[in-house]
C-alpha cells in the first residue's frame, strides 16, 4: 500500500481552486481600482509560490509488507533506499536493547551492594524483621558512599 498524492486528488483541488477564483472574480468588479490591483499582485505572488513549492520533492510514507519506510522524492525501490529506510529503526532497537542491559546491570549492582551490606554488618536477627530496616539500610549505604 502506497500513500501518495494522486491525480484525482489534484484534480479535485484544481476544481475547487477554479470555483473559488470564479467566485472571487465575480465580486472584484465592485471593488475600487487600488484594492483590485493589490489583490492581483497577491494572486501573482501566490501562484509563483505555488509553482515553487511544486518543484520540491514531497516526503512519502510507504507501507511495504508491514514496515513503514520514509523516502524523499521519487521512490526508485533500490536496495540502498530500503536500507536507508530500515537503518533508523535498527539503530533505535539497538539503543533500546543497550538501555535495557545497562538498567538491568545497575539494578543488579545495587542489589549486590545491599546484600553485601547485610552480610557484613553487625546486626541482631530481630533488626531484619523491623519495619524501618530498609530505611536504616539505605541510610547506612548512603553514609558509606
pLDDT surpassing 90 at residue 135: no
User: What whole-number distance in Å separates Cα of residue 105 and Cα of residue 108?
Assistant: 5
Q: The cell 483541488 sits on which residue?
A: 13
Q: Give the three-state DSSP class for 131.
A: coil
Q: Residue 82's pLDDT band (boundaries 50, 70, 90)?
A: confident
Which stretch, 46-50, 53-57, 72-76, 89-93, has highest mean pLDDT? 89-93
Nearest residue to 73 (alpha-carbon basis) of 65, 64, 84:
84
Long-range contacts of 57-63 (CB under 8 A, 24+ apart): 58/5, 60/2, 60/3, 60/4, 61/3, 62/1, 62/2, 62/3, 63/1, 63/2, 63/3
Q: pTM of the predicted model, to two decimals?
A: 0.35
Amino acid at each position: 500500500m502506497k500513500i501518495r498524492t494522486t491525480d484525482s486528488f489534484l484534480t479535485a483541488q484544481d476544481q475547487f481552486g477554479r470555483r473559488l477564483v470564479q467566485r472571487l472574480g465575480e465580486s472584484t468588479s465592485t471593488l475600487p481600482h487600488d484594492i483590485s490591483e493589490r489583490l492581483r499582485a497577491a494572486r501573482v505572488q501566490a501562484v509563483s509560490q505555488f509553482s515553487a513549492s511544486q518543484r520540491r520533492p514531497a516526503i512519502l510514507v510507504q507501507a511495504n509488507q508491514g514496515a513503514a519506510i520514509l523516502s524523499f522524492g521519487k521512490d526508485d525501490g533500490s536496495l540502498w533506499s530500503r536500507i536507508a529506510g530500515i537503518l533508523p529503526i535498527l539503530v533505535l532497537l539497538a539503543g533500546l536493547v543497550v538501555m535495557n542491559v545497562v538498567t538491568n546491570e545497575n539494578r543488579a549492582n545495587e542489589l549486590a551492594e545491599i546484600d553485601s551490606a547485610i552480610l557484613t554488618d553487625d546486626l541482631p536477627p530481630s533488626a531484619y524483621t523491623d519495619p524501618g530496616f530498609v530505611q536504616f539500610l539505605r541510610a547506612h549505604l548512603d553514609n558509606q558512599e
